[in-house]
Amino acid sequence: MLMPLERILHAQGFGARKACRIMVWQNEVTVNGEPCDDPYAEFETAGLKFSVRGENWEYRQPSYLMLHKPANYECSHKTQHHPTIYSLLPHPLVERGVQCIGRLDEDTTGLILLSDDGQFIHRMSSPKWKVPKVYEVTTKHPVDQKLIRALMEGVQLIDEPAPIAALACTQVSEKILQMTLAEGKYHQVKRMIAAVSNRVEALKRIRIGDLALPDDLEAGKWRWLSEEDMLRLGWKA
């Protein structure tokens, strides 16, 4: 699809169209490696690569990305006690309106997906689709098979009409287990562990569907989802 450069920059979160025109006139933008000072020049958006003030970008509409959430960050634009995870993203992505898909508590770390595609957000977050999430749970007291059986059979939580069970539960070490859940209820992992007379000391989400948190993605860093990542999530962009 052909689109004027000012509209391309605006759609990618670089400000109002007037501000985008000024950036182009001031020679702050290159397209496919070449300077361009005409904000009305049209370009094919598919595969388009451009730079703004020396930072390289690729045209993406819509956008899909993952973030390795560190501890002591909140999954909200309006935070109360800690900085927001959106401060870890480049400003243009925030301007585009990317939203985290499901929230993690401020002390919980691990994999978060973000997008500005409403259908994708619904598919990944709606209880209807039961997308499994895998958590690495560090407990205060040692884990045993009795505890694991209880989590697999289901535990009764306050304000829940029926017992809730883990889809899978595997012991990793004396005080570490991996739990797979399909729901996203408030403090669910912590409440389930408390219901079996233990306590969560650390919690990390390591997988969503078939997509695992990459070993080389450091806490606080983000990256675009690849085509392979999207297929692992069962979504074709």
Quickly list DSSP for 112-172: EEEES-HHHHHHHH-TTT---EEEEEEESS---HHHHHHHHH-B--TT-SS-B--SEEEEE
SS3 66: strand
Q: How far apart are CA 57 and CA 49, in angstroms?
A: 6
Q: How far apart are CA 112 and CA 104, in angstroms?
A: 8
Determine whether 144 is an active site residue.
no
* Beta-strand pair 49-52/29-31: antiparallel
One of 105, 144, 159, 229 is an active-site residue; which one?
Answer: 105
Q: Which residues are identified as catalytic?
A: 105
